[in-house]
Structure 1
Amino acid sequence: MTLPARPRRHATAADLLAIPEAERFHEIIDGDLVPKATPSWSHGRAQARMTARVSDPYDRPPGRRGPGGWWFVTEVEIALEPNQIYRPDIAGWRRERLAAPPTELPVRARPDWVCEVLSPSNASNDTVKKLRTYHRSQVPHTWILDPLHETLTILRWTEGGYLLVAAGGRGDRVRGEPFEAIELDVSELFGDEDEAGEPEKDDT
């Protein structure tokens, strides 16, 4: 006699939060508790560069220096569905939708923009599984940074699926919605020091 298979138990927010904070670099993807890849130098560099580029003009109330109007965070748990709790590499919310930083964990407010930085070991999670959830949750803008191939892909939500609105590689400059006020040098996102000037002279 064959016994019926036990129903699969999906991981929950409680399972995720039970992991000590210092060790909690995990996501719940399709009900499975999945560790995030250990960031490489190129991954961490791309994440830091992109965060700096969008935060400087946008992460403040509107009407001050730069366009403003956004909140940004890195590596914060966001619950989009009961079995989908992610830690996007960077996430942003329009301040007109989110008047103050949320205090709950995981965050329940749907972001207006996410940026995922790919790692070879889990790229399919970011480009397939998580992208499907972002679409179901109607995240308006999703960007994908690929340090291996040094590319930036910019996607816009539409009812039928995400629409590719811009893409660039090394040597390209891109203005991508919703941050059209800034021009991004794709090479600089992956570590080129294009802003470096001439070495200082030693007058001694």
Structure 2
Amino acid sequence: MGNGDRKPATYADLEGVPPTKVGELIEGALVISPRPASRHTRAATKLGAWLDGAFDLGRNGPGGWLVLDAPELRFPHPGDALVPDVAAWRRERMPELPDVPFFLLAPDWVCEVVSDVTRTWDRGPKMRVYAREGVEWLWFIDPLAEGLEIHRLRDGQWRLFGVHLGSGTVDAEPFDAVPLNLGRLWSR
């Protein structure tokens, strides 16, 4: 069988992914990745903690967001079940956390912490799916290069909104109400 003859993966295929791996369905393909490495996990954890206080709980910040680490997102298009490193919904769209195993409502913001293993999927097929589903903001964090890249969806296309490198403090849309100390994301 050629590649064009291959059947798309299904949600049932995800059930066979070992718990030591991360399984996603991206544009009909089953993608299995290793669990994130320590610097990847650290950056996502620190980012989630910063977002949780100021933007989810409203401590020393505006609140108004529901923030989750590694939620499973299932979109109506057949064959898409994505797991971003961090995602957030504006409270006016998701007032409280539903008791569900996965989310059908696309987030307003997602962050992918890129690695050599995930870079091609994050910057290609997953980016297309997020655009198709109307996710407004997409961040890429690269803990090895110590960089943050911000994209915003406009007229169905991603537009590069900002690039920040190093350990400085930045105002990072859409969370610019509270400065983000990038150095905390890279700390060891």
The one-letter amino acid paired with 2:23 is H
| Matching of residue 105 in structure 1 with residue 105 in structure 2 | no
1:82 matched residue in structure 2: 78
**What SS class does the counterpart of residue 142 from structure 1 fall into?**
strand
1:48 matched residue in structure 2: 45
* Structure 1 contact 75–89 (Cα < 8 Å) conserved: yes
TM-score (norm 2): 0.89
The one-letter amino acid paired with 2:47 is M
The one-letter amino acid paired with 2:92 is E
CA deviations over 1:48-87 (Å, ceiling 9, x no partner): 1111111111113x6x752111111112210123211101
TM-score (norm 1): 0.83
Question: Identity of aligned pairs, percent?
Answer: 35
2:170 matched residue in structure 1: 174
Aligned-pair CA distance for 1:5: 8.8
**Whose Rg is larger?**
1
Give me the whole-angstrom Cα distance separating, in 2, the residues matched to 1:173 and 1:65. Answer: 16
* Structure 1 contact 28–84 (Cα < 8 Å) conserved: yes
Gaps of 5+ in 2: none
Aligned-pair CA distance for 1:6: 8.3
Aligned-pair CA distance for 1:138: 1.0
The CA RMSD measured in Å over matched residues stands at: 2.3
Aligned-pair CA distance for 1:99: 2.1
Gaps of 5+ in 1: 193-204
- The size of the alignment, in residue pairs, is 187
Aligned-pair CA distance for 1:21: 7.7
Runs of 4+ in structure 1 over 6 Å off: 3-6
Give me the whole-angstrom Cα distance separating, in 2, the residues matched to 1:89 and 1:34. Answer: 15
Match of 1:133 among 126, 129, 132: 129
Give me the whole-angstrom Cα distance separating, in 1, the residues matched to 2:183 and 2:44. Answer: 13
Give me the whole-angstrom Cα distance separating, in 2, the residues matched to 1:189 and 1:150. Answer: 8
Distance 1:92 1:6, change over 3 A: closer
118-127 or 96-105, larger mean C-alpha shift? 96-105
Distance 1:19 1:66, change over 3 A: same
* Structure 1 contact 169–187 (Cα < 8 Å) conserved: no
| Matching of residue 70 in structure 1 with residue 65 in structure 2 | yes
